[in-house]
């Protein structure tokens, strides 16, 4: 038996499905490209949740606000190319919230830390307490592994399939 993996994109995706011998109300399934296609740029839509942890789908298009989190986050680029820019934060800008990403007030006051240009399949560390901004010349998609926080958007009734 052989299997072929088909990778989707914003331009071409099929809504996924799964066959479970269980009550579908116990699961939340969504197609990340469909979610990104229906989202505003940089809206962080939760597509998976496990206790305080979550995965957020982000449609990257243009330049995002500056974000910070009180813990490490990880972004995986699923489609397109995204540039991540990093700055240290001044003491008065350090995260005061307990979990998830929040917008930074104004421009970061600390030292520039660098940037990463990532394409499909690349993973990027979003370091604890640093400011980061995403930018994409064309619509792109990433998944951010984080904790639910101030910027997390829940659209479960729109993205979950329950028979």
CB contact at 8 A, 97 and 68: no
List the one residue out of 134, 160, 144 whose CA is nearest residue 41: 134
Residue-wise pLDDT for 55-102, tens only, equals: 999 999 999 999 999 999 999 999 999 999 999 998 889 889 999 999
What pLDDT, on the 0 to 100 scale, is given for residue 157?
A: 85
Pick the CATH number of 45-159 from 1.10.3720.10, 1.10.287.3510, 3.40.50.11240, 2.60.120.10: 2.60.120.10
Mean pLDDT of 140-151: 97
What pLDDT, on the 0 to 100 scale, is given for residue 12?
A: 83
What pLDDT, on the 0 to 100 scale, is given for residue 3?
A: 63
What pLDDT, on the 0 to 100 scale, is given for residue 18?
A: 54
Least confident of 5-9, 51-55, 106-110: 5-9
Residue-wise pLDDT for 3-43, tens only, equals: 676 677 888 877 766 555 555 444 444 589 999 999 999 99
What pLDDT, on the 0 to 100 scale, is given for residue 16?
A: 62
Tell whether the torsion through CA atoms of 96, 97, 99 and 104 is positive or negative.
negative
What pLDDT, on the 0 to 100 scale, is given for residue 22?
A: 56
Q: How confident is the model at residue 44 (pLDDT cuts 50, 70, 90)?
A: very high
């Amino acid at each position: 038996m052989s299997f072929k993996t088909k990778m989707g994109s914003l331009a071409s995706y099929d809504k996924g499905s799964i066959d479970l011998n269980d009550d579908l109300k116990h699961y939340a399934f969504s197609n990340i490209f469909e979610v990104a296609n229906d989202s505003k740029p940089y809206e962080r839509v939760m597509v998976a949740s496990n206790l305080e942890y979550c995965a957020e789908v982000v449609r990257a298009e243009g330049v995002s606000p500056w974000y910070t989190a009180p813990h490490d986050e990880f972004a995986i680029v699923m489609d397109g190319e995204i540039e991540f820019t990093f700055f240290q934060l001044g003491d008065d800008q350090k995260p005061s919230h307990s979990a998830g990403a929040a917008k930074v007030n104004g421009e970061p006051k600390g030292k520039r830390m660098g940037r990463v240009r990532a394409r499909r399949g690349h993973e990027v560390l979003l370091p604890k307490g640093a400011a980061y901004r995403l930018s994409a010349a064309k619509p792109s998609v990433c998944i951010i592994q984080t904790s639910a926080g101030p910027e997390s958007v829940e659209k479960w009734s729109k993205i979950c399939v329950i028979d």
